[in-house]
Amino acid sequence: MSHYKSNLRDLRFNLFETLRIQDYLGTEAFPSMDADVADDVLVEVERLASDEFAASFTDADRNPPTLEDGVVTLPDSLKKSLHAYFDGGWQNLGIPTKFGGFGSPDALRWAAQEMLVGANPAAYFYASGTLMAVVLGETGTPEQVERFVKPMLDNNWGGTMVLTEPDAGSDVGSGTSKAVHIEGDTYHLEGVKRFITSGEHDFAENIIHLVLARREGGEPGTKGLSMFIVPKFLVNDDGSLGERNGIVATNLEKKMGIKASTTCELTMGMDEPCVGYLVGGVHQGIRQMFHIIEDARLLIGTKSAATLSTGYLNALEYANERIQSADMTEMADKTAPRVPIIDHPNVRRLLMTLKAYSEGLRAMFLYTAWTNDQAKLAEGDDATDWERRSDLLLPLLKGYASEVAYDQLGQALQVFGGSGFTQDYPLEQYIRDVKIDSLYEGTTGIQSLDLFFRKIAKDRGATLTSLAGEILETVKGGGEDDPFTDERAALGRALEHVQAQLGSMVGNLMNAQENPPEVYKVGLHTVGLLESLAEVVIAWLLITHAETAHRSLDSADGGDLPFYEGKIAAARWFTKTVLPEIAMRRTLAEAEDGSLMQVPKEAF
């Protein structure tokens, strides 16, 4: 049996009952499908994810890729999963029609990707290399599009984003990899990159690396970085593959989890010249690379949500099947029948918490994808506003989802007891595989700095104010017989606490203009702000879902009635048990005196 358990019903609920993507399917922006086709996509991807794609999840973890003489060999089981994905043409789902793809709206694309990345995240990382082709198609010269993008898509070449260096880490602007100009858009690259996902493997016949490096004479910091096309094998003028380029895997990281994903050290220009081509003929590397980074952050947030969801559903199945102890009302009776552990209060507490977080994170990443669709449907300033809202949500999704998934999968382990700690169940691998999510594409601390300084302070809170306005409409909604009065009130209080928390941090930032150490008070609470704001957004989305579910109760059949009741229960549980934590974060931020920064290093 497959380890993977999808939640197709909740995906349909998000897409068709709350986001209502059918209202814009078939429009000029998304002409290639209607609601029936979109639903068929979900059904077929669920089958692929649960069957062939999930099949190598365990084997590839136990028998991970190997590196020998610069060549990485993938296990056969993993290659079989990848062949099933590419043979079905699923790499074309999100590719724009102008590049020969299906042109799916983002909401549908990310719903499909949830199932794939939940079933086998390592495999999906290899498959997602087509994103590099799309970015290159948007930023490259016409000649580069013809020479590299077309064969990447036609031949399923791999693709990577190559940023991190051993000494620079997340301080990308400190990178020392250099590019020496040869002629035209051709350069020779030298340097070492680290933690490069899918940096080397033997599944694809070629890999196109998109590399950040500093051209000779380039200014310090990120502004001096350019992006280069660096193929594993050089591409001849007629499209055939030439000789091996001078970019080589010199190490394969040994990791605690997601072992089937090759995370490589790549060395450029060591024994052979490393040829790179300046993307678009312009030195705008960090701006170009951010097209990939933003998509990657959404992918990692979706991965976290997907892994938590299948972990929750595995725990739910176990709780219904595992018979242990008498009902709590009959504990004194030693002859009382044993019951499924889902009948025990603490197990129910664990399961409802898992359900609320799982469905809340799914709601957030699909809403974020939906905002991307709205940006494509809108024009002018409206499109810009939607793009900014998506940008605001990205650090929330990536930072919060990755932290919550790891924490809550640990709680899911409690449902299994000691059995969950063994390899008889997938939880132990889920926990190992998901921990990297809080580190990928910048740690949670870095995401929180991005949220405060770039997404809120930089536009003077305009985007956040717009979002808060919509949340406030939900707080004030409902009528005389509103069943969600308590939930709306809790959301309103939480929103006030977040606004006060943010206000104290902005005050400290302003004070730092005359007294720079005041900025430390901001830095001590940016993660707390990210957590609080993410919880407000999730509560808002869960309440809107509960409203939709409540309207559907009277017409629901026997199969759907428990589902809608569950949506209402999850919203009530989240607002009751999670939102109160925001008040504490506000209190801590307002009381911050910065004394931690005065503690001598030797005292730690």
The topology under which CATH files domain 8-128 is: Butyryl-Coa Dehydrogenase, subunit A; domain 1 (1.10.540)
pLDDT at 282 over 90: yes
In this structure, what is the dihedral angle of CA atoms 559, 479, 362, 159, given to the nearest 10 degrees?
130
For residue 215, the cross-strand partners are 179
pLDDT at 127 over 90: yes
- Could you tell me the CATH superfamily of domain 285-440? Butyryl-CoA Dehydrogenase, subunit A, domain 3 (1.20.140.10)
Provide the b/e sequence for 112-138 (b: ≥16 CB within 10 Å).
bbbbbbbbbbbbbbbbbbbbbbbbbbe
- What is the enclosing helix (H) or strand (E) of 233? strand 233-235
pLDDT at 39 over 90: yes
Alpha-carbon span 228 to 582, nearest angstrom: 44
> Is 278 strand, coil or helix?
strand
Alpha-carbon span 494 to 468, nearest angstrom: 11
What is the structure's pLDDT at 1? 79
pLDDT in tens, 437-489: 999 989 999 999 999 999 999 999 999 999 999 999 999 998 889 999 999 99
The topology under which CATH files domain 142-148+156-283 is: Butyryl-CoA Dehydrogenase, subunit A; domain 2 (2.40.110)
- Residues identified as active-site: 441
Alpha-carbon span 449 to 455, nearest angstrom: 9
Pairing of strands 178-183, 207-215: parallel
pLDDT at 239 over 90: no
Q: Please tell me the total number of residues recorded for the chain in this structure.
A: 604
Q: How many CB atoms lie under 10 A from the CB of residue 316? A: 18
What is the structure's pLDDT at 478? 86
What is the structure's pLDDT at 131? 86
DSSP 175: -
What is the structure's pLDDT at 237? 84
Alpha-carbon span 455 to 139, nearest angstrom: 24
For residue 340, the cross-strand partners are 323
Alpha-carbon span 354 to 366, nearest angstrom: 18
DSSP 327-377: -GGGTT-TTSPEEEGGGSHHHHHHHHHHHHHHHHHHHHHHHHHHHHHHHHH
Q: What is the mean pLDDT of residues 214-225?
A: 92
pLDDT at 32 over 90: no
Alpha-carbon span 410 to 312, nearest angstrom: 11
Neighbour-count burial of 22, counting CB atoms closer than 10 A to its CB (0-12 exposed, 13-18 middle, 19+ buried): middle
Report the share of the chain in percent with pLDDT over 90.
94
Alpha-carbon span 246 to 263, nearest angstrom: 18
Report the share of the chain in percent with pLDDT over 70.
100
pLDDT at 78 over 90: yes
Alpha-carbon span 561 to 556, nearest angstrom: 5
Pairing of strands 338-340, 323-326: antiparallel
Q: Please report which confidence band the pLDDT of residue 129 belongs to, taking 50, 70 and 90 as the band edges.
A: confident
Helix, strand, coil percent values for the chain (each to nearest 5): 60, 10, 25
Q: Given phi > 0 = left and psi -120 to 50 = alpha, else beta, which region is 380?
A: left
Q: Please report which confidence band the pLDDT of residue 559 belongs to, taking 50, 70 and 90 as the band edges.
A: confident
Pairing of strands 207-215, 225-231: antiparallel
Mean pLDDT, the chain, integer: 96
Alpha-carbon span 209 to 163, nearest angstrom: 10
pLDDT in tens, 58-68: 999 999 999 99
Q: Quick one: which of 176, 275, 268, 296 has its CA closest to 228? A: 275
Q: How many CB atoms lie under 10 A from the CB of residue 602? A: 5
**Angle between helices 561-577 and 485-511 in degrees, nearest 10:** 40
Q: Please report which confidence band the pLDDT of residue 167 belongs to, taking 50, 70 and 90 as the band edges.
A: confident
pLDDT in tens, 335-369: 999 999 999 999 999 999 999 999 999 999 999 99
Would you say 188 and 211 are in contact if contact means Cβ atoms under 8 Å apart? no
Task: Name the token pair of 389.
Answer: 């809202």
Residues 6+ apart with CB under 8 A from 424: none
Please tell me if the domain spanning 8-128 has the same topology as the one spanning 142-148+156-283. no
Alpha-carbon span 242 to 240, nearest angstrom: 6
What is the structure's pLDDT at 602? 98
Alpha-carbon span 367 to 377, nearest angstrom: 15
What is the structure's pLDDT at 104? 95
Alpha-carbon span 117 to 49, nearest angstrom: 8
What is the structure's pLDDT at 169? 81
Task: Name the token pair of 230.
Answer: 């660096």
What is the structure's pLDDT at 557? 85
What is the structure's pLDDT at 234? 97
Amino acid at 498: V
Q: Given phi > 0 = left and psi -120 to 50 = alpha, else beta, which region is 25?
A: beta
Euclidean distance between the first and the last CA atom of the chain, given in angstroms as a whole number: 49
Q: What is the mean pLDDT of residues 362-390?
A: 97
Alpha-carbon span 393 to 36, nearest angstrom: 29
What is the structure's pLDDT at 279? 97
User: Given the structure tokens 């449902």, which residue do they identify?
Assistant: 415
Domain limits, the chain: 8-128, 142-148+156-283, 285-440, 471-599
Alpha-carbon span 121 to 307, nearest angstrom: 9
Alpha-carbon span 123 to 75, nearest angstrom: 11
